[in-house]
Amino acid sequence: MNNKKPYNLTISNIKNNGYLLFETIVGSQAYGTNTSESDTDIKGVFVMPEEFELKLSYDSSWDVILHKEGEGNKKVETEYFTLRKFMKLLINNNPAALEMLHTPEDCITYMHPDFKLIYDNRDKFLTTKCEKAFAEFAIQQMKKAKGQDKKQNWTKERMTRKDLLDFCYTFQAQGSIPVKDKLKQLGITAESCGLVRIPHMTNTFAVYHDENESYKGIVARGETDIILSSVKRNASPIFYMQFNSNAWSTHCVEIREWKTWEKERNEDRWVDVQGHGQKIDGKNMLHSVRLIDTAIEIVTTGTLNVRRPNVPFLLDIKKGRLTLQEILENSEQKILDMSNVYKQSNLPKELNVDFLISLDEITYSLTKKVREEAIKF
């Protein structure tokens, strides 16, 4: 079955044919944190034309329509949700959907007269579950920022991939030396040696060398693990070796994390913290702080204030005027206090049943009316 979205199911056709219910500017322009470099983000809600919904090939992916145009600060990214999809997001405390309904009036570019029934009841969608919905992402980003700060401080030497053999040592006097150094002293190579595991001693091996034997070497092909050889019963080891497998595993994990971090991070979003030789993802940290503050305000005020009252502080974060430590100190106590604040909240734990029933009725009548009045595709 072909589930490809119909070519004519576009944002412009939704608007021109009369299926649009609600459209608003979101993102930095709604928060008040936009700068001259900021692009424009738009989100909307529409009724799915009946002729598409009745198709046997109808797919839930059709419930979201995306459109991008322009570059830089001229870039406009638009995302529309079907009314059905939007209601599901609201009921599940989705922050983006809740913020759409609470954007400042100067950001709203269109509202169907009957959609006002939903808009006017926007605070009824707020419950104590907003703590998790809004703060969970922010908390994860704070943890991630600590990890990113750690990665920035990793030295180039540390992030240079080492050989497995670099984590192998042998005894010398009352200490130890790298196996590489021992092999150099003996004038032999790792490839010409053979290993036998010493029973009851973790990661400890006897090392053998005999020019007349074809041993497998010390390190397996691909340098991922130690390799063992078959050795004659009367053969004598030339030395004993200890493999620090924990350090090797940690090194491999750090290398993978480093490479993934370098590959995935958005350089345009990373700003130098002024005078500290430190870099942070300013935009990401701005949103983390914003979400934590919003979560607390929801429970203390009973509403969601999208336009932020502390714009100068948020822009200082975005532009690298605050260190990561200063940002974390500002937010970590709020995170600790948040659970107690929500426990004392007057917000309901769940959405009111009567309200949910009324939403079903509003959604049904609104969908029916729009489809009757709109132009068919």
pLDDT at 294 over 90: yes
CB atoms within 10 A of CB 99: 21
Q: What are phi and psi of 72, to 5 degrees?
A: 60, -135
pLDDT score of 278: 55
**Cα gap 42→40, rounded to integer Å:** 7
Q: Where in the chain is the domain with CATH 3.30.460.10?
A: 1-126+349-377
Q: Which is more confident, 326 or 2?
A: 326
Task: State residue 336's pLDDT score.
Answer: 82
- Please check the confidence at residue 331 and state whether its pLDDT lies above 90: no
Using alpha carbons, select from 368, 358, 355 the residue that is nearest to residue 127. Answer: 355
The model's pLDDT over 343-374, given as tens digits with 9 standing for 90+, comes to 888 899 999 999 999 999 999 999 999 999 99
Q: Please check the confidence at residue 82 and state whether its pLDDT lies above 50.
A: yes
pLDDT at 191 over 90: yes
Looking at the predicted structure, is the pLDDT value of residue 337 above 90?
no
- Whether 2 shows a pLDDT value over 60: the answer reads no
Which band of pLDDT confidence, cut at 50, 70 and 90, is reported for residue 7? confident
Task: Summarize the confidence of residues 143-166 as an average pLDDT.
Answer: 67
Q: Averaged over 16-22, what is the pLDDT? A: 97
Residue 325: predicted pLDDT: 83
204 has a pLDDT exceeding 70? yes
Nearest Cα to Cα of residue 77 among 38, 49, 134, 103: 38
**Quick check: 366 and 18 in contact, CB under 8 A?**
no
Report the share of the chain in percent with pLDDT over 90: 59
Q: How far, in Å, are 80, 327, 343 from residue 331 at the CA level?
A: 33, 6, 19
Model confidence at 74: pLDDT above 90? no
pLDDT at position 368 is 95
Q: What is the DSSP letter of 125?
A: G
**Amino acid identity of 25?**
I
Residue 121 has pLDDT above 50, yes or no: yes
Checking if the pLDDT of 10 tops 70, the result is yes
Mean pLDDT computed over 25-43: 94
What's the mean pLDDT in 138-148? Answer: 69
The more confidently predicted of residues 326 and 339 is 326
Question: In this predicted structure, what is the pLDDT of residue 219?
Answer: 93
**What average pLDDT does this structure show over 66-71?**
90
- Fold (topology level) of 1-126+349-377: Beta Polymerase; domain 2 (3.30.460)
Tokens coding 261: 């971090």
Query: How does residue 263 score in pLDDT terms, banded at 50, 70 and 90?
Result: low
Residue 340 backbone phi and psi in degrees, to 5:
-65, -40
Position 281 pLDDT exceeds 50: yes
pTM of the full structure:
0.68
**What is the band of 152 on the pLDDT scale with cuts at 50, 70, 90?**
low
Q: Is 159 helix (H, G, I), strand (E, B) or coil?
A: coil
Strands across the sheet containing 193-197 = 175-178, 168-172, 239-243, 204-209, 193-197
More confident: 192 or 280: 192
Q: What is the residue-wise DSSP string for 297-353?
A: HHHHHSS---S-TTHHHHHHHHTT-S-HHHHHHHHHHHHHHHHHHHHT--S-SS--H
d(C-alpha 135, C-alpha 221), whole Å: 47
pLDDT band (50, 70, 90) for residue 276: very low
| pLDDT tens column, 95-105 | 999 999 999 99
